[in-house]
Amino acid sequence: MPRPRSRIAAALAFVALALLALPAQAIDFHLPGPKPNPIVFVHGASGSGAQFESQAMRFTTNGYPKSRIAVLEYDSSTIASTMPAVLAALDALIDDLRAKTGAEQVDLMGHSLGTTVSQNYLATPEHAAKVAHYVNIDGRPAAAPPGGVPTLALWAGGVSRPTPPQIVGATNVTIPDQEHVQVATSAESFFEMFRFLRGRAPLTTRIFPEIFPELSGRVANFPQNTGLDGAKLQVFWVDGHNGQRIVPWASFDIGPDGSFGPFRVVIGLHYEFAITRPGELDIDYFYEPFIHDDGLIRLNVAAGLAPFIPNDPNSTALTVVRFKEFWGDRGAQNDVLAIDGTDVINPTTAPSGQVGLASVSFFLFDAGSDGVSNLTSIPFPFGPLPFLTAADLFIPSQPPATLSVLTVPRGDTSHQRTVNVRNIPSSEGRPVVQLNDFEQ
């Protein structure tokens, strides 16, 4: 096996060649015109700042400073009773960002339920005066631009919305063939966002590769978005061929706010983020190689779902997450998600035709611990839960064997890729594969 140092050298040589192949005009380092307003993103139900992760990387690729991008995170499950507190938190975040950057106004973006939060915020004239532009992403319609603020309304143009709604007086744009979550994370939506905010097209909708990306984020309870206080996060460099750990890379004690980092990684290498807590099963996140500075990594722990997933030494419980819906009822446009060769996506496990039923998180486990797979139904309670799905898949636990996760996005074989992870018995830990919601 090659030594770690030779692996790094090989990775850096690959990166150097890739950078030489980039067109010189692809990146706008200087961002012509006045400094951009800070951006504040408000997520939707069962969401977090992770739904703005790719867009933030695109904005910084096009010259936005990282310090001018922020997200508001809140407990979407209690919003009916906590809306005043959420609005106060949004106002405090906007004031803090204005103070730190010296900007008079911010650009506000809301997705789904976040559009209700944002429109409630803008309904107060004192709040609306702090916002220069508003981007309403596939959420609440309105009879006029909220608060009188110039508004871009982006709407999903997939089969779940045959007739997209409108915000009267706004710039309304429908993104064809995209559903509710994808329209928040896609390159096509970014193009419209940037053009609306800056008055011109971005120089690129791709994400610029950096040799040593800087990473930071939060370890959080799902869906409360509270920090997983008392946890420990260990980051390992892993072998991309088998998911086995090579060397420890970084370590963090998680406090009440859940934050970790920043720390740097090497482009092209694979990493595991292991969350440990006394008396609890480990949660092990495996990522595709990072290519750009990323401050919105979210390692979510769904304690409320744990009782429905078996603790079985003979099988593995795997979760796959991608902030772009999995499609299983679109024929040639179906995604493929093959676990050790078994494609778990079909019209039953991955329906896409209704907002909230199309899923971005796929839970895979041996329901009933009977050693038999059944892909004809969704195990309880995942069927009715928004944006989540599951399949009864028996994955034999054979440590230290490798578990292969193959994805073919929307049937596009030119972008198929595989993430290899450690096969961890469900009695010992829960591997999670975080897939990119973009291809490039």
pLDDT digits (tens, 9 = 90+) for 152-188: 999 999 877 778 899 999 999 999 999 999 999 999 9
For residue 38, the 8-state DSSP code is P
HSE of 169, CA atoms in CB hemisphere, 13 A: 10
C-alpha to C-alpha distance for 369 and 153, rounded to whole angstroms: 47
C-alpha to C-alpha distance for 179 and 329, rounded to whole angstroms: 13
Q: Is the per-residue pLDDT at 7 higher than 70?
A: no
Do the beta carbons of residue 205 and residue 192 sit within 8 Å? no
Beta strand ranges found along 161-293 (DSSP E) = 171-176, 214-221, 232-238, 245-253, 259-264, 270-276, 282-287
**Mind listing the pLDDT tens digit for each residue in 35-47?**
899 999 999 999 9
Do the beta carbons of residue 123 and residue 115 sit within 8 Å? no
Name the band, by pLDDT with cuts 50, 70 and 90, for residue 2: very low
C-alpha to C-alpha distance for 273 and 113, rounded to whole angstroms: 29
CATH 3.40.50.1820 assigned to domain 26-198? The reply is: yes
Q: Is the per-residue pLDDT at 403 higher than 90?
A: yes
Kindly state the tokens that stand for 344. 């778990």
State residue 162's pLDDT score: 77
**Strand, helix or coil at 242?**
coil
The tokens 């003979």 sit on which residue?
314
State residue 211's pLDDT score: 96
Smallest CA-to-CA distance from 214 within 159, 293, 322 is with 293
State residue 230's pLDDT score: 97
Q: Is the per-residue pLDDT at 16 higher than 60?
A: no
Kindly state the tokens that stand for 359. 């899923």
For the chain, the average pLDDT equals 92
C-alpha to C-alpha distance for 137 and 117, rounded to whole angstroms: 12
Name the band, by pLDDT with cuts 50, 70 and 90, for residue 8: low
Instruction: Tell me the chain's radius of gyration from C-alpha atoms.
Output: 21
Name the band, by pLDDT with cuts 50, 70 and 90, for residue 9: very low
Q: What is the mean pLDDT of residues 360-387?
A: 94
State residue 385's pLDDT score: 86
Q: What is the mean pLDDT of residues 6-29?
A: 44
Q: Which of 213-227, 284-298, 354-368 has the lowest mean pLDDT?
A: 354-368
State residue 358's pLDDT score: 82
Do the beta carbons of residue 122 and residue 147 sit within 8 Å? yes
Smallest CA-to-CA distance from 53 within 345, 293, 276 is with 293
C-alpha to C-alpha distance for 256 and 378, rounded to whole angstroms: 35
Do the beta carbons of residue 236 and residue 249 sit within 8 Å? yes
Name the band, by pLDDT with cuts 50, 70 and 90, for residue 22: very low
Q: Is the per-residue pLDDT at 74 higher than 50?
A: yes
C-alpha to C-alpha distance for 177 and 159, rounded to whole angstroms: 7
Q: What is the mean pLDDT of residues 92-114?
A: 98
State residue 10's pLDDT score: 52
**Mind listing the pLDDT tens digit for each residue in 187-240?**
999 999 999 999 999 999 999 999 999 999 999 999 999 999 999 999 999 999
State residue 300's pLDDT score: 97
Residue extents of the structural domains in the chain: 26-198, 214-434
Give the CA distances from residue 5 to residues 10, 17, 246, 264, 367, in Å, rounded to whole numbers and listed in that order: 9, 19, 11, 16, 43
Do the beta carbons of residue 334 and residue 345 sit within 8 Å? yes
**Mind listing the pLDDT tens digit for each residue in 300-326?**
999 999 999 999 999 999 999 999 999
HSE of 56, CA atoms in CB hemisphere, 13 A: 24
Q: What is the mean pLDDT of residues 235-259?
A: 97
**Mind listing the pLDDT tens digit for each residue in 134-158?**
999 999 999 999 999 999 999 999 8
Q: Is the per-residue pLDDT at 255 higher than 60?
A: yes
CATH 2.60.40.2200 assigned to domain 214-434? The reply is: yes
| Percent over 70 (pLDDT), the chain | 92
**Strand, helix or coil at 150?**
coil
| Percent over 90 (pLDDT), the chain | 87
Q: What is the dihedral of CA 8, 14, 15, 21, to 10 degrees?
A: 170
C-alpha to C-alpha distance for 251 and 231, rounded to whole angstroms: 11
**Strand, helix or coil at 420?**
strand
State residue 114's pLDDT score: 98
Give the CA distances from residue 435 to residues 200, 212, 267, 288, 439, in Å, rounded to whole numbers and listed in that order: 31, 20, 16, 6, 10
State residue 5's pLDDT score: 45
Name the band, by pLDDT with cuts 50, 70 and 90, for residue 356: low
